[in-house]
Amino acid sequence: MSRYTFGGDEHVFVEVDEEMSLEAFFTSLAMTNAVREAKIDGVTEICPANASFQIKFDPDKIHPQKLMDMLKEMEASAEKQEAKLNTRIVEVPVYYRDPWTHETLMRFRERHQDPNGTDLEYAAKINGYDSVEAFIEAHHGAPWFVSMVGFVSGLPFLYQMVDRARQIQVPKYLIPRTDTPKQTVGYGGSFSCVYSVRGAGGYQMFGITPMTIFDPLQKTPYLKDFMVFFKPGDIVKWRPIDRDEYESIAADVQAGRFEPRTADVVFSLDDFNADMDGTNAKLMEALYAD
């Protein structure tokens, strides 16, 4: 049973599990979907997170305790639901070891665990990789699951789709930076992220993507329906690119010519748990079918 608690008089907060797992994420997603479908009068925001979720409501319309009781009733049926998702896989180009995040990480070196190295060198070392190249290979080798969108405007948190023994883990900066380049690919705990806007941040910096993921003016063709690109449940494949390709994609994005490579897929958690590498291989086939 999840842990239910109030966030003041306007929020119910539900912790499905203290630790992250795709099982906890799917329970959170199933419950938030059930709340959305229930169209409860007074509910104003439904926010799924990695292994928890939060419902904001107007206590003038529904009593906090009544809403909490309704959510508890929903949990039993949500847990019985098959953990299956109609979603999409997206290829995101990443320029690892780029000059912009490098300049930034050097500027904030005194806030880092290893002031004499780079974020990638530190992450490679503490995860037992012989070289930065081998570590980068591990970062983009398997796909990632978007398990939360938030912090600031459309920032995705991504969870690595490998067994726990192979998962990369890296602490956050000792003291958060006051600056992070826009579209930095970062890492903290067991989550990757893409910084949607420039600003403060505590995640380690591995590289940068030329792909716009948040556009408040919606001039980017693939963001014309909505200004935020990612949603929970998206699957992401990082593709390493070099400086030349970064410049060329950035120019295409700027000119409105870039369209991210995506494919519709069905993701089943049971199938994934039974055969992770096999499931991931099928996802790659779907992404690169044409």
Site for another protein in 247-276 (CB under 8 A): none
Binding residue (CB under 8 A) for another protein from 216, 221, 256, 278:
216
**Residue 245 Cβ, how far from another protein at the closest point, in Å?**
27
Site string for another protein, 6-35 (x = CB under 8 A): xxxxxx-x-x-xxxxx--------------
Q: Is 38 in the site for another protein (CB under 8 A)?
A: no
Q: Is 178 in the site for another protein (CB under 8 A)?
A: no
Cross-sheet strand order for the sheet of 3-7:
3-7, 11-15, 52-57, 43-48
**Residue 289 Cβ, how far from another protein at the closest point, in Å?**
29
176: Cβ–Cβ under 8 A, 6 or more apart, which residues? Answer: 111, 200, 201, 202
Q: Is 214 in the site for another protein (CB under 8 A)?
A: yes
Q: Is 222 in the site for another protein (CB under 8 A)?
A: no
Site for another protein in 49-108 (CB under 8 A): 49-54, 56, 59-60, 64-65
Q: Is 190 in the site for another protein (CB under 8 A)?
A: yes
Spatial distance between the Cα atoms of 273 and 117, rounded to a whole number of angstroms:
36
Degrees, nearest 5: CA angle 166-190-108: 120
What is the four-CA torsion angle of 203, 209, 210, 215, rounded to 10 degrees?
-50
| Closest by CA position to 266, among listed 53, 88, 93, 141 | 88
134: Cβ–Cβ under 8 A, 6 or more apart, which residues? Answer: 124
Of the pair 68, 286, the CB lying nearest another protein is at 68
Site for another protein in 117-176 (CB under 8 A): 148-155, 157, 164, 171-172
**Residue 213 Cβ, how far from another protein at the closest point, in Å?**
11
> Interface with another protein by CB under 8 A: which range of 75-83, 122-130, 196-204, 279-287?
196-204
- The secondary element (H helix, E strand) that includes residue 103 is helix 99-107
SS3 at position 216? coil
Distances (CA, A) of 119 to 55, 111, 113, 115, 143: 36, 11, 9, 9, 21
- The secondary element (H helix, E strand) that includes residue 281 is helix 276-287
Of the pair 241, 253, the CB lying nearest another protein is at 253
Of the pair 153, 245, the CB lying nearest another protein is at 153
40: Cβ–Cβ under 8 A, 6 or more apart, which residues? Answer: 57, 62, 67, 70
Strands (E), 24-113: 43-48, 52-57, 84-96
Residue count, binding to another protein (CB under 8 A): 54
Q: Is 188 in the site for another protein (CB under 8 A)?
A: yes
**Positions that interact with another protein (CB under 8 A):** 5-11, 13, 15, 17-21, 44-54, 56, 59-60, 64-65, 148-155, 157, 164, 171-172, 188-191, 196-197, 199, 214, 216, 227-228, 231
